[in-house]
Structure 1
Amino acid sequence: MDTKDDATTAWIRRYHPSGDSTARLICFPHAGGSASFFHPVSVRFSPDTDVIALQYPGRQDRRREPCIEDIGTLADQLAEEIQALSDKPTVFFGHSMGAVLAFETAFRLEQRGLNSPHTVLASGRRAPSTVRDEQVHTRDDRGIISELKLLNGTDSAVFGNDELLSLALPAIRGDYRAIETYAGEPGRRVRCPLTVLTGDNDPRTTLDEAHAWQEHTEGAFRVEVFSGGHFFLADHQDEVNKVIAEALDAARAARTAASP
């Protein structure tokens, strides 16, 4: 079943739907994150761009649904949702766990020849070919909260609100289990260009681990380094938006060039 250009579904959130958009930006949230994280991105790029923020099960209005605790299974489902969209020049943007999901989803869509992105923007995540023994998902609640504070990716008001924490922690734990048990398929590459965005003080991604993404594309590759930690994009919104805008412009130009 096709998903209309102005439709919002359980998986697909459009905060500023527009039938006149000439390109599409699909945003993949981080572990424990939700579609609303990308509301400012939608404000910036709509209505010329169809900005879609993905909503995984287990959070916000989907909190009663079980989390999908396997990256491959979640990427399979996301690919099904995205291939039902109309055909437009598309860019994927994923942060942290979302970077891996953007990559795996792009790979699946390229294999099917349906709605694959012109470019993948992988933010705040080491390359799939790099390996770390990370076990945050096995910690108790206090241990998970310590990790969130280290990465500085959660509103500080949440930490003082037991009710909000109790609602958020199951999804956070489930997402950490998914990303920490993920093992990238050896030699897996996408054909499209790949741009990596990383913080120069990210405790979870070194510069070498960011550059290792080059092994995962047959297209153009570059790394953009920003000052800051894991959530560097909070302090560099304008610069990150510039990278996104360049990718969208390139996607539009490529479609125009390919038209008869």
Structure 2
Amino acid sequence: MTTSTPTGAPAASPWFVRPPSQDPAARLFCLPFSGSGASAFSAWPAEIDGAEVCPVQFPGRENRLAHPHYGTYEELADSLADALAPLLDRPYALFAHCAGAIPAYETVLRLAERGLPAPRRLFVSGQPAPHDAGRDRMLGLTEPELRAELESFVRGRGIEPRPDMIDLGMFVLLRDHAAAGAYRRTEPARIDCPLVVLHWRDDTDVSAEDLQGWRHYAEQVEFRVVDGGHYGFMDAPAELLAALASWR
């Protein structure tokens, strides 16, 4: 049963920066990458092919900075499954980029364990499969190297990084980084929905070969290549939006 306000709209939840609408045709839940939040999707349209875009806000960042960090990916998936449950009364899909793909996958498993409706698609972007997650280049970086990566990312978005901005970013990133380093899955567990694996043609961090492990995670797995670099998804390019359309 959907949790609702007196007007019939879904109840407000800290997991969403804007309340999901009352009666969309479908929903696309979007999970951010390590160190980031729902603002990673600020350039995205409000809907894609009739599906409402619902950026997910993990605790411990942006407007949830005062909330306790989620801890581990497993704990994050447990909590996110609770948050999504009232909103699964219509067709839905999940999109997750980079390390966000791991809790997205774990969340789909937990929804199935609870007997809740499966997504029509899980889209994963620029992230090796769960059993290969330890290959992530970022996991081998020292704190100063992570700081340099964060500064480079901010500059790449056209912003000159201020020390206070980077300090706050590192506060979030280091805790997310610890969760990524602690995650372990040695054997694939299949999900009950089609899986679409997106590779960014100019991605210097994750190659197409790095993504092949996802073949073992669903009966139906599709690999697609889209133009752009590792963070190209943030600009909502037309090729990506086309890939995310027509899944219902």
TM superposition score normalised by structure 1: 0.82
1:198–1:224 Cα contact (<8 Å) kept: yes
**SS of residue matched to 1:78:** helix
- Residue 32 in structure 1 maps to residue 35 in structure 2: yes
2:138–2:146 Cα contact (<8 Å) kept: no
Distance 2:155 2:236 in 1: 14
Structure 1 pair 246–185 and aligned structure 2 pair: CA distance change class (3 A) = farther
Between the aligned residues of both structures, percent identity stands at: 30
1:21 alignment counterpart: 24
TM superposition score normalised by structure 2: 0.86
2:110 alignment counterpart: 108
The Cα of 1:227 is off from its aligned counterpart by: 3.4
The Cα of 1:180 is off from its aligned counterpart by: 2.5
Distance 1:28 1:133 in 2: 18
The Cα of 1:27 is off from its aligned counterpart by: 0.6
The Cα of 1:225 is off from its aligned counterpart by: 1.2
Distance 2:3 2:237 in 1: 30
1:255 alignment counterpart: none
- Residue 145 in structure 1 maps to residue 147 in structure 2: yes
1:158–1:165 Cα contact (<8 Å) kept: no
**SS of residue matched to 1:129:** helix
1:132 alignment counterpart: 135
> Which blocks of at least 5 consecutive residues in structure 1 are unaligned?
252-260
RMSD of aligned alpha carbons: 2.6
Q: Is the deviation greater in 143-152 or in 207-216?
A: 143-152
Distance 1:25 1:170 in 2: 29
1:67–1:174 Cα contact (<8 Å) kept: yes
**SS of residue matched to 1:81:** helix
2:159 alignment counterpart: 157
2:222 alignment counterpart: 222
Structure 1 pair 202–152 and aligned structure 2 pair: CA distance change class (3 A) = farther
Structure 1 pair 209–153 and aligned structure 2 pair: CA distance change class (3 A) = farther
1:183 alignment counterpart: 184
1:109–1:115 Cα contact (<8 Å) kept: yes
Structure 1 pair 33–158 and aligned structure 2 pair: CA distance change class (3 A) = farther
1:75–1:105 Cα contact (<8 Å) kept: yes
Distance 2:227 2:200 in 1: 5
Structure 1 pair 138–199 and aligned structure 2 pair: CA distance change class (3 A) = closer
Partner AA of 2:197 in structure 1:
V
Structure 1 pair 107–163 and aligned structure 2 pair: CA distance change class (3 A) = same
Partner AA of 2:13 in structure 1:
T
The Cα of 1:13 is off from its aligned counterpart by: 2.9
**SS of residue matched to 2:54:** strand
1:85–1:115 Cα contact (<8 Å) kept: no
> Which blocks of at least 5 consecutive residues in structure 2 are unaligned?
none
The Cα of 1:172 is off from its aligned counterpart by: 1.1
1:254 alignment counterpart: none
Partner AA of 2:38 in structure 1:
A
The Cα of 1:195 is off from its aligned counterpart by: 0.2
Alignment equivalent of 2:48, drawn from 22, 45, 53? 45
Q: Is the deviation greater in 116-125 or in 206-215?
A: 206-215
2:70 alignment counterpart: 68
2:120 alignment counterpart: 118
